Amino acid sequence: MSEQQATARAARQATTIGGIAALVAGLLTAVLGTLLHAQILYVGQTPVIWGAVAALVLAAAFFTLAAVYSERIWAAALAGTVAYGTVALMSFDTTNWLIVAWAQRQVMFGPALAGAVWTFGLVASTVVALFLAAAVLRRRR
């Protein structure tokens, strides 16, 4: 096998590893973050949505890990896309009484806020993960 073929094979393997790492990170984040975001602490009548914030930190960490592990920056973006898509699909379940839509914020403000922060905060976590992974990967080279 020539050096050029070996380099091409290593690149294909890294791409495969990046794709698998991104899929695992995205699905794991969607499931664990969805479970975690529902943790709400009430101080009087004010909801403290610490679970949603913790879920977003977890998401950024998983997305960064996928990119750094595979040494492919796009793995963070793919993981974020997979997580966001999975969370969106889970939220379409209209028969699940545990899902509190933003439209119900007048009745259940804390859970509605936590759900909105979790869902839309995934985009911000993905961007943060891209910057973190870029910084780590730049230092490695």
| Euclidean distance between CA atoms 49 and 111, whole angstroms | 8
- Dihedral angle over CA of 94, 99, 102, 107, nearest 10: 110
The answer on pLDDT for 40 being more than 70 is yes
* DSSP 8-state class, residue 45: T
Residue 28: per-residue pLDDT: 96
47 sits in which H/E element: strand 46-48
| Euclidean distance between CA atoms 98 and 34, whole angstroms | 11
| Predicted TM-score of the model (pTM) | 0.87
Burial class (CB within 10 angstroms; exposed 0-12, middle 13-18, buried 19+) of 24: middle
Q: Which of 7, 116, 101 is nearest to 52 (CA)?
A: 116
19 sits in which H/E element: helix 3-36
**pLDDT tens sequence across 86-128:** 998 988 877 766 676 655 666 677 888 999 999 999 999 999 9
**pLDDT tens sequence across 77-87:** 999 999 999 99
| Euclidean distance between CA atoms 128 and 122, whole angstroms | 10
Label residue 11 by pLDDT band (50, 70, 90).
low
Residue 97: per-residue pLDDT: 62
